[in-house]
Amino acid sequence: MKINWGTGIVIGMVLFISFIMFLVINMLTDKKFDHDLVTEDYYKRELHYQDEINAETNAFALEKNISDHRAKNGWIIEFPKNLELSKISGNINFYRPSNQKLDFNIPLNLKAHQVLIHDDKLVSGRWNINIHWKYEGKPYLYKNEIVY
């Protein structure tokens, strides 16, 4: 059976459209391509962005700011030793840009100047650490991007 050129063009177009439809359906249903917004309340947070800038400026003005580093069994966050632990309040937010389900918050109840985040909470890859804290009523913000 001989196929003329018009039939060949139609078959080619149908195959191309089928291929494109396969890619679109695959990307819409595959969890690997499931990307979330950075935050659910993006516009609400945008209104308070100046407060974040002020809190970050307060943190930079400290004699010694928060530091963080990797340890054998997790990630350590160190608060300045010259601050009274009882006057520190706030929370630590670990944000995973690639998967919202891995995000978690830890409230600050300091017993020592170090906080250890255990390995079982951290998956290897990129994390954003945001520490919103207050000392004597003054707000501070520490931000860092890490690769665990």
Kindly report, residue by residue over 14-27, the tens digit of the pLDDT.
999 999 999 999 88
Residue 130: the pLDDT is: 94
- Say whether pLDDT at 142 is over 90: yes
Number of Cβ within a 10 Å radius of residue 102? 15
DSSP string for residues in 72-138: TTEEEEE--TTS-GGGEEEEEEEE-TT-GGG-EEEE---SSSEEEEEGGG--SSEEEEEEEEEETTE
pLDDT tens figures, 85-116: 888 999 999 998 888 888 899 999 888 889 99
Q: What is the domain partition of the chain in residue ranges?
A: 1-34, 42-147
**Has this prediction a pTM greater than 0.75?**
no
Nearest alpha-carbon partner for 90 in 139, 55, 143, 127? 139
Question: What's the CATH fold of domain 42-147?
Answer: Immunoglobulin-like (2.60.40)
Give the pair of three-digit tokens for residue 126: 């990129």
Helix (H) or strand (E) holding 23: helix 5-29
